[in-house]
Structure 1
Amino acid sequence: MAIRRNAEGPTTAIDRTVAGLAARQVAHGAVADLLANTHAFALEDALAQAGRHAELDAADTALARAIATATFRRLGFLRTILAARLSQGLPEDQPRLVALLATGAAQILDLNVPDHAAVDLGVRIAKGDPQLLHLSGLVNAVLRRIVRERAEIQAEMSDPLAQNTPAWLAGRWRDAYGEDTARAIAAAHLAGASLDITVKGAAAEWADRLGGVVLPTGSVRLHDIRSPVADLPGYAEGAWWVQDAAAAIPARLLAVKSGERVADLCAAPGGKTAQLAAAGADVVAVDRSVPRLERLRENLRRLGLEAEIRVGNALEVDEPGGFDAVLLDAPCSATGTLRRHPDVAWTKAGNDILRLAALQRRLFDRAAMLVKPGGRIVYCTCSLEPEEGERQVRDFLKRTDEFERVPVTPEELGGLSEPIDAQGDLRTLPSHLDGTTPEQRGGLDGFFATRLRRKI
């Protein structure tokens, strides 16, 4: 099918008169914005921007997010199957058309929505957009063909690494982890993630109340949650907070004692700050993002916890030797979070990793300056890239002889040894803890963490 290529136009007005249409318009707008401006922002921000005047209720908000997330989770597959059904290939210079076809195809192939809704409302979106109006017939034909050929298409989507992972990332993971592990990582990303929580009190009691399971690392994993998180028992009273099981490990590795003064650098949105405060530490939480710090404040209020919150650049914290321990969750490419944030694979590039690695080096040196003799540092990133993990600690220990590594032990991970590398650092992969038991299925975010002690 041929496409006449036009300049891209602005987002069209939200239509609330047809059930489900506004949600699909918001999802389409967010995906189109990210395809057109890949390095501008994250999917959550794009959804918020696209829906700022939509006045969606909770169900439509969830639907818009589900459609957009499913689109990015299978974007490599979707681009291939769409290109094969267009005579001139996929028009990458028309992100609004690509987004409309991709969000429609994602609904048909991956979501529990009626096929007619995915097709008919996609056509309505095209007819309501001056730049897509002339392509409404093509949208209708392509999406109906996908409905007819669903079984054939699903059989074609068989290789998540080769077909559904950007080539630059797939190559990196092959080099870092080998072919088999790279394939396991890509498969875990396609499977998505469970809901993990960190509990202030007895994890086993809350696992029983919420129908979850306590993981070896101490987090509680929940499956098949059908209610909004805020409506679950224990949320409003501050008994627990949402935090991926891997993300909860670094603060535990710091092993803070009551009354210790601890710096949490790059702290927002605050899951690790909450862990440190709950352990009795005197926490100084630093972040440069005012909106994200407001979320941290709200979370601490709900949890009944306290911390000193500072708005500012972590590189400018100037208290040499002022802390017993420092937790540095450094800004990174976030390639370890694709199970939850699949857009990251398509909105980052190799130069982002190099740029962020340079920042991480500076933050690492600042953290070292802040910790007192005998004190500890845990440096971590939610990245799968060695430049943001293993190479950072290697280069740091070459720069100074004032610190020594304190290896992570299996006992600290509930007996798990697989996430501990040969140096004694933590390296979780999305394919870890994925099917150890049926209840524990769900994998982990990709995280790196190292623990160091200042000798002098």
Structure 2
Amino acid sequence: MLKPAAMSSDTPTPDSPSPGDAHTSDAHTGDAKISAARSVAFDLLRAVLAKKTPLDEALVAHDGMNWLPDRDRGFARTLVATTLRRLGHVDRMIDACLSQPLPLKASAVRDVLRIAATELLILKVAPHAAVDSAVNLVRSRGHEKFVKLTNAVLRRLDREGSAAIEALPALDALPHWLARSWRATYGDETAEAMAAAVQREPVLDITVKSDPAPWAETLGAQMLPTGTLRRPIEGRIDALPGFAEGAWWVQDAAAALPVKLLGDVAGKTVVDLCAAPGGKTAQLAAAAANVLAVDRAAKRVKRMQENLSRLQLSATCVTADAAKWRPPLPVDAVLLDAPCSATGTLRRHPDIPWLKGEADVAKLVGLQDRLLNAALEIVKPGGTVVFCTCSLESAEGIDRIAALLARNPAVRRVPIAAQEIGGLDALITAEGDLRTRPDHLADFGGMDGFYACRLIKG
């Protein structure tokens, strides 16, 4: 019986078919096309792990994604995303089949094995297709001497690996630094549930400008207690009813909550700091606020303007450093969605834990403090600041608020009431802040990890 080896290191050198679709694609499109999809998936994995390129950027930059047929393009994306979600598991299974570690110069062979192991053990693709393509990939990348080893490892995984990988704790799929952080913050049981939740394919969450109930029926979606509409990710998002007309936008259920903490913003001037791509700006504009949306990246501001145009919503978009920019006059409220490690978004961005580490969290903490100080300078006395991050790390959430309150006694926290967030009292911390986790609403598809705190300036 195959026994997984211990992980060797923390950092290994809109259409997605289901695992069943991947198998069907193998049967219906032929090995040649699927081999092309596997080659693209291998390139994408290398871009993330070897070059530290975010997966979204790698997907856009790879020319092969454009010439692959739709089904094979979806298969390639599913294959690399699933490999990243389960990378710790896959590495342990591979290591259990090796008598000695692969040399550094053979890191490409390791990535081929990762792709093929994911097919065999998780996506349940036909073994001959996965193994043959892997052997051909190793040979085509100039590693002929590892062809026999590749074949032997994958044949053994096919025979013995399925039960072994399913027996692994969910946390073992994550890099050590992140698993250690979640255990310390949330305890073993909750951390394990969180890790299991981020290994599942995400759902499609939608925020509607108004009247969500009729749109739920039109879109075949379920309406969550918070008002978000939720449906499976199927087909092209821009082909769904209401998209072209600007009736709604894609936004995770957790990401839609911080704006609610500002209360009734109609007629008020609200600054949205670090606003792009603009989901929260759209919420504020749809609620009739006078919105100043600030972001330092010109390309992201342009994208935000395009999104607002499609939605037929109005906001003043400003390209500037949010830590330095100031409005002409103090404003009624500020929403600060601060840059962070984004560990709360692993359901949708499985590359993040392999691109970032504890050092990145430490660097971002200083920026978050500076932005909080800026937000409090911008808002008028008695005004509201909502600070939020899409991080599950306490250093980027409650610790930042504790540090702020210690250095600025004129600021006070205003606890959140359950009725403000759809009655979901499980999302409220003992301090009265918002804390969502991937395992929240697990029976309905989970949600991103977010922290938010509401403050009043004295």
TM-score by length of 2: 0.88
Tell me, in whole angstroms, the C-alpha distance in 1 between the residues paired with 2:207 and 2:281. Answer: 12
State the 1:442 CA deviation: 1.1
| Residues 331 and 379 in structure 2, CA contact (< 8 A), matched pair in contact too | yes
Query: Quick check: 1:76 aligned with 2:85?
Result: no
Q: State percent identity of aligned pairs.
A: 47
Q: Tell me whether 1:450 sits opposite 2:453 in the alignment.
A: yes
1:159 aligns with 2:169: yes
- C-alpha distance in 1 between matches for 2:105 and 2:429: 44
1:254 aligned partner: 262
Q: Does the residue aligned with 1:186 lie in a helix, a strand or coil?
A: helix
Deviation at 1:146, TM superposition (A): 2.3
User: Which AA in structure 1 matches 2:446?
Assistant: G
C-alpha distance in 2, partners of 1:302/1:358?
36
Output the CA distance in 1 between the equivalents of 2:131 and 2:309: 45
Q: Which residue of 2 aligns with 1:175?
A: 184
Which residue matches 1:389? 397
CA distance in 2, matches of 1:409, 1:128: 59
* Matching residue within 131, 138, 149 for 1:138: 149
1:20 matched to 2:34: yes
Name the SS of the counterpart of 1:103 in structure 2: helix
Q: Which amino acid aligns with 1:219?
A: T
Alignment match, 1:415: 423
State the distance in 1 between where 2:118 and 2:300 align: 31
SS at match of 1:314: coil
User: 1:187 aligns to what?
Assistant: 196
Residue deviations 1:244-293 (CA, integer Å, cap 9, x gap): 10011011212242222211111111111111111111211111223322
Which string of whole-angstrom CA distances, capped at 9 and with x for unpartnered residues, describes residues 202-222 of structure 1?
Answer: 112122222221111111111
1-structure distance, mates of 2:104, 2:417: 48
Q: In 2, are the aligned partners of 1:264 and 1:285 still within 8 Å (CA)?
A: yes
- Is contact 1:79–1:90 with CA below 8 Å preserved after alignment? no
Q: Given residue 36 of structure 2, which amino acid in structure 1 is its aligned partner?
A: A
Q: 2:158 aligns with which of 133, 147, 159?
A: 147
Change (3 A) 1:430 1:101: same
Q: Which stretch shows the higher mean deviation, 133-142 or 412-421?
A: 133-142
Select 2:127's aligned residue among 99, 115, 127: 115
| Aligned match for 2:375, one of 367, 370, 394 | 367
Give the Cα separation in 1 of the matches to 2:56 and 2:159.
32
Match of 1:49 among 31, 46, 61: 61
Q: Distance in 1 between matches of 2:276 and 2:73?
A: 24
Answer yes or no: is the 8 Å Cα contact 2:427–2:435 preserved in 1.
Answer: yes
Identify which range, 119-128 or 77-86, moves more after superposition: 119-128
Shift in Å at residue 454 of structure 1? 1.7
**Amino acid corresponding to residue 213 of structure 2 in structure 1:** A
Cα 1:317–1:412, aligned 2, differ >3 Å: closer, same or farther? same
Match of 2:21 in 1: none
> Aligned in 2, Cα 1:180/1:238: closer, same or farther, shift over 3 Å?
same
| Runs of 4+ with >6 A deviation | none
Structure 2: runs of 5+ lacking an equivalent: 1-29
Report the alpha carbon displacement of residue 164 of structure 1 after superposing the two structures with TM. 1.4
C-alpha contact 2:93 2:165 (8 A) present in aligned 1:
no
User: Shift of residue 112 of structure 1?
Assistant: 5.7
Write the mapping of 1:37-436 to structure 2, written as runs, cut at 5 A: 37=51, 40-51=52-63, 55-91=67-103, 94-111=106-123, 113-130=125-142, 132-156=143-167, 158-161=168-171, 163-223=172-232, 225-319=233-327, 321-435=329-443
Distance in 2 (CA, whole Å) between partners of 1:425 and 1:99 is: 41
The answer to which of 54-63 and 412-421 deviates more is: 54-63
Decide whether the 8 Å contact of 2:260 with 2:421 is kept in 1: no
- Name the CA shift for 1:91/1:384 in 2 (closer, same or farther; >3 Å): farther
AA at the equivalent of 1:239: A
One-letter amino acid of the counterpart of residue 450, structure 2: F
Flag the 1:68–1:403 CA change in 2: closer, same or farther, 3 A.
same
SS at match of 1:374: strand
Supply the distance in 2 between the matched residues of 1:284 and 1:56 (Cα, whole angstroms).
Answer: 41
Q: SS of 1:99's equivalent?
A: helix
How far does the alpha carbon of each residue in 1:308-327 deviate from its partner, in whole angstroms, 9 at most, with x for none?
11222111212375321111
| Amino acid corresponding to residue 452 of structure 1 in structure 2 | L
- Shift of residue 301, structure 1, vs aligned partner: 1.6
**Cα displacement (A) at 1:418:** 0.8
Give the direction of change, closer, same or farther, for the CA distance of 1:209–1:148 in structure 2 (3 Å limit): same
What is the SS of the residue equivalent to 2:400? helix
Relative to structure 1, the CA distance from residue 297 to residue 92 in structure 2 (aligned partners, 3 Å threshold; closer, same or farther) is farther
Q: CA RMSD in A?
A: 2.1
* CA displacement at 1:145 relative to structure 2: 2.8
Instruction: Look up the match of 2:44.
Output: 30
Q: Which residue number corresponds to residue 4 of structure 2?
A: none
Report SS of the residue matched to 1:47: helix
- Amino acid in the other structure paired with 1:177: Y
User: CA separation in 1, counterparts of 2:56 and 2:38?
Assistant: 15
**Deviation, structure 1 residue 54:** 5.5
Distance in structure 1 (CA, Å) of the matches to 2:218 and 2:450: 29
SS of match in other structure, 1:204: helix
